[in-house]
Amino acid sequence: MTRMVNCVKLGKEAEGLKFPPYPGELGKKIYNNISNEAWQMWVKQQTMIINEYRLSPADPKAREMIEEEMQKFLFSGESITPEQFVPPA
């Protein structure tokens, strides 16, 4: 049976994640409150942020920025979109 969560990002009940996608308390919060659909939206947003800002996930400052943007995107809807970003056609 599929695990359902009340997704705070989408504002509806939806299929939950199969496991916490991030370590620690934040991972537990995501697992309990974010749907698989919303997580996939974040993965696309994260890729765009990494590419547009040319971030290296190995850099601690970049990881800190990505985590901050992840929390904003998933829980408050305030994530950034780089000024120069042009969505693919």
What confidence score (pLDDT) does residue 2 get? 87
Domain 24-83 classified CATH 2.40.128.50? no
Dihedral, CA of residue 60, residue 64, residue 69 and residue 74, to nearest 10:
110
CB atoms within 10 A of CB 52: 15
Model confidence over 20-71: pLDDT tens digits? 999 999 999 999 999 999 999 999 999 999 998 899 989 999 999 999 999 9
What confidence score (pLDDT) does residue 71 get? 95
What confidence score (pLDDT) does residue 37 get? 97
What confidence score (pLDDT) does residue 78 get? 74
Per-residue pLDDT band for 84 (boundaries 50, 70, 90) equals low
- Residue 3 reports pLDDT greater than 80: yes
